[in-house]
């Protein structure tokens, strides 16, 4: 009993001057498992109509622009090794922040070597090839996404000598145009001489899946 009393007195003993009692540890942070954790709330939502954000004439123009475009109605340009089909461009007045086009590379083809301030993402639809970005090689195949960073000097290559390659490209080009920051410099022009592998090649008007067997696996 005496030992117990001594322990209680020791617990109540005053701390030396200048030493503050320890603060309790902070509470554990919220986790995904916390049933009371709220990621999204509608408490402060408000409805803002398009009429409040745009001039009437501009709103009428935007609403008059077709929201669905037929890809087959857009012709391929460039060539004879690298072809482009521009779906969405700033001059169309449809979008204000991005540009989208289709690239088709003949067997054994390479693009021009160039750089620009706007970023670009190439979603590889079919084929196999590679990029050269600032002297570094990056290989790609169908299903990959090749990213071109700002000011990167780059060039695209189709690695196959028998099959074409195709990529869907999205750029932030319109935003840079709007900000008067667009700059593009060509280092090496697009090849214009047809290689033996690409003899007689024309861009495919109909979508084809060259990477999967007909009839499925």
**Are residues 154 and 131 in contact, defined by beta-carbon separation less than 8 angstroms?**
yes
Instruction: List beta partners, residue 208.
Output: none
Mean pLDDT of the region 184-208 = 84
Instruction: List beta partners, residue 110.
Output: 157
The DSSP symbol for 10 reads H
pTM to 2 decimals? 0.69
The DSSP symbol for 17 reads T
pLDDT score for 217: 42
State the pLDDT confidence band at 163, using cuts at 50, 70 and 90. Answer: very high
pLDDT score for 67: 83
pLDDT digits (tens, 9 = 90+) for 52-86: 888 889 888 888 888 888 888 889 999 899 999 99
pLDDT score for 122: 96
**Are residues 124 and 160 in contact, defined by beta-carbon separation less than 8 angstroms?**
no
**Are residues 131 and 138 in contact, defined by beta-carbon separation less than 8 angstroms?**
yes
Mean pLDDT of the region 22-42 = 67
State the pLDDT confidence band at 195, using cuts at 50, 70 and 90. Answer: confident
The residues spanned by each domain of the chain are 75-198
Mean pLDDT of the region 193-202 = 89
Residue 189 has pLDDT above 70, yes or no: yes
| CATH architecture of the domain with residue range 75-198 | Sandwich (2.60)
């Amino acid at each position: 009993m005496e030992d117990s009393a001594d322990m209680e007195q020791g617990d109540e003993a005053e701390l030396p001057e200048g030493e503050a009692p320890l603060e309790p540890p902070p509470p554990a942070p919220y986790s995904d498992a916390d049933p009371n954790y709220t990621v999204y709330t509608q408490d402060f939502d408000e409805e803002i109509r398009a009429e409040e954000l745009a001039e009437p004439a501009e709103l009428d123009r935007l609403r008059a622009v077709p929201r669905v475009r037929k890809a087959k109605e857009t012709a391929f340009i460039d060539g004879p090794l690298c072809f482009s089909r521009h779906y969405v461009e700033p001059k169309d007045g449809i979008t204000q922040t991005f540009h989208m086009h289709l690239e088709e590379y003949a067997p054994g083809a390479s693009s021009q070597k160039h750089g620009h301030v706007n970023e670009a993402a190439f979603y590889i639809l079919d084929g196999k090839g590679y990029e050269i970005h600032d002297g570094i090689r990056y290989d790609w195949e169908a299903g990959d996404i090749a990213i071109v960073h700002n000011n990167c000097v780059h060039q695209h290559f189709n690695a196959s000598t028998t099959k074409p390659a195709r990529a869907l490209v999205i750029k932030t080009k319109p935003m840079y145009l709007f900000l008067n920051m667009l700059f593009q410099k060509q280092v090496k022009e697009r090849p214009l001489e047809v290689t033996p592998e690409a003899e007689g090649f024309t861009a495919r008007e109909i979508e084809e899946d060259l990477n999967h067997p007909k009839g499925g696996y």
